Amino acid sequence: MLHGNNFLLFIYAVFVNGKFCKDPKLAKAEDFYYSGLNIPRNTSNPVGSTVTPVNVAQIPGLNTLGISLVRIDYAPNDGLNPPHTHPRATEILVVVEGTLYVGFVTSNTDNRLIAKVLYPGDVFVFPIGLIHFQFNEGKTKAVAFAGLSSQNPGVITIANAVFGPNPSINPD
């Protein structure tokens, strides 16, 4: 049960985009800070990649700012960030290590593949909502960083959505 000053805080709490909006007078450096994107992540998993997000869940100060960031680590020899889409964001990816084959598919009815091999320092853009992927075709690990035009871009991995829903989609 809330009472006293706690009750008043609850009554006047403001939520924007489903996240608590702190009174700017109470903001501190930790609300705008994240550490650790320099640390390589484990890619020993079925797809051979790991995405480390830095969005409003990690940095509360991103709320309403419309941006986020991810680090993507790819295993050597076929590490894959499988086909997926971000329903709320455009993505801009920069390769910092390794060689990636990247691409996206345009929308119906063309469904054209637009793809390119990227090297360190190369940048590629994936338009909002389009299915895209990254694949490490090199023999060494790869690392990329991506900026996204949303504080909470969302992600839909296509294979998981089609073949793994609960309940499952009728195969007919």
Binding site annotation covers 132?
yes
Binding site annotation covers 137?
no
The answer, yes or no, to whether the previous bond of 83 is cis (omega within 30 of 0) is no
Q: Residue 125 in contact with residue 105, Cβ under 8 Å?
A: no
Binding site annotation covers 3?
no
**Of 98, 18, 93, 97, the residue nearest 62 (C-alpha):** 18
CA distance 14 to 25: 14
Burial zone of 28 (CB within 10 Å; 0-12 exposed, 13-18 middle, 19+ buried): exposed
In three state form, how does the secondary structure of 108-148 look?
Answer: CCCCCEEEEEECCCCEEEECCCCCEEEEECCCCCEEEEEEE
The answer, yes or no, to whether the previous bond of 64 is cis (omega within 30 of 0) is no
List, as residue ranges, the binding site for Mn(2+).
84, 86, 91, 132
Per the annotation, binding residues are: 81, 84, 86, 91, 132
Q: Which residues are annotated as a binding site for oxalate?
A: 81, 86, 91
